[in-house]
Amino acid sequence: MVLIPAGKFWMGRTVTQVVDSINVRARDSMDDVPANNIYLDAFYIDKYEVTHADYAKFLAAKGGKAPWHWPQGNIPKGEEKFPVYNVNWFEATDYCKWVGKRLPTEAEWEKAARGGLDGKIYSWGDDDIDTSEFRRLPPASSSTKSRRGSPDGAGGNVVAVGSFPPNGYGLYDIGGNVSEWLNDWYYDNYYPFMPKQNPRGPETGLYRSVRGANWATGGPGGDGHPAQTVYFRNFSDPDLRITTISFRCAKDPN
């Protein structure tokens, strides 16, 4: 795990677009504004997403339902180091509890994703992604900043954790490969009223927050930048098992 230091950071979208000023964007497309200067206590977060191999140990110890894409309940050959997917929010929560951890909050995830680069668009800064390589699957030694797009132009898949360079905090795959379950309930109008210290999301809701782009992420997000931005928000039914969502765990310092 990596220790993320206590302190303040700007959570949310700090860049503005023309459509912001002329009031033509629907509220649900502006769920990442206004930006808030948030204080967070120190916390630990996993360097990597939970892998198939990690999850298999959990199932062996606690029982439960294997992801539906595991043939006869076994990890697909050669995919031991892939992030586990087709796991719903409840299963992700149970795994984190089993290892003595928890799912990160939305604020924790964003601060960790920023890698110490406050107010930037991506985890590596403000340089846009080279979309000319949108469909390419680079080798593990590539300097490509984020896993995005399907390698074969149809369907899609994930790659092993740690296949791409880490961010400034040493976290891998924070902006691509698969999206990640978070602990918070999702609410599109949360930011105007969120607490400025250790926010943990609304008390209730219908959907759980999901962060991070994934291999199926397509074009620009609501502000004209791709969904690989560190402030891009998403959500999902907590019962959903899907190929594009995985998770990593967090915990408080002892």
pLDDT digits (tens, 9 = 90+) for 158-215: 889 998 889 999 999 987 789 999 999 999 999 999 999 999 999 999 999 999 988 8
What was the pLDDT predicted at 208? Answer: 98
**pTM surpassing 0.85?**
yes
pLDDT value of position 215: 82
210 CA to centre of own chain: 6
- Count other C-beta atoms under 10 Å from residue 94's C-beta: 14
The residue length of the chain stands at: 254
Residue 26: per-residue pLDDT: 58
Please give the structure tokens belonging to residue 30: 């502006």
The DSSP string of 33-60 is -S-EEEEE--EEE-SSPPBHHHHHHHHH
Q: What are the structure tokens assigned to 171, written together?
A: 């976290």
The DSSP-derived string for the chain is: -EEEPSEEEEES-----HHHHTT-S-GGG-TT-S-EEEEE--EEE-SSPPBHHHHHHHHHHH--PPPTTSGGGSPPTT-TTSBP-S--HHHHHHHHHHTT-BPPPHHHHHHHHHTT-TT-SBTTBSPPP-GGGTT----TT---S---S-TTSSS-----TT-S---TTS-SSTTSSSEEEEEEEP-TT-GGG--SBS----S--SSEEEES--TT--SB-TTSSBTTSTT-EEEE-TT---TTEE---EE---
Q: Residue 184 has which token pair?
A: 């918070």
Residue 113 has pLDDT above 70, yes or no: yes
Instruction: Identify the pLDDT of residue 156.
Output: 52
Q: Tokens for 174?
A: 């924070």
Indicate the average pLDDT of the chain.
85
* CATH number listed for the domain at residues 1-254: 3.90.1580.10
Residue 43, beta-bridge partner list: 4
Residue 92 above 60 pLDDT? yes
pLDDT top residue among 104 and 131: 104
Is residue 143 pLDDT above 50, yes or no? no
pLDDT band at 133 (very low <50, low <70, confident <90, very high): very low
| Residue 150 confidence (pLDDT) | 38
Q: In sequence order, what are the beta bridge partners of 45? A: 2, 250
Q: Which of 184, 190, 187 is nearest to 34 (CA)?
A: 190
Question: What's residue 98's pLDDT?
Answer: 98
How does pLDDT run across 14-42, given as a tens digit for each residue?
A: 887 666 666 655 555 689 999 999 999 99
Dist CA 210 CA 152 (whole Å): 26
Q: What is the pLDDT of residue 29?
A: 67
pLDDT digits (tens, 9 = 90+) for 29-83: 689 999 999 999 999 999 999 999 999 999 999 999 999 999 999 999 999 999 9
In the chain, where are the structural domains located?
Answer: 1-254
* Residue 149: predicted pLDDT: 41
Between residues 159 and 251, the one the model is more confident about: 251
With bands split at pLDDT 50, 70 and 90, how would you rate the model's confidence at 123?
A: confident
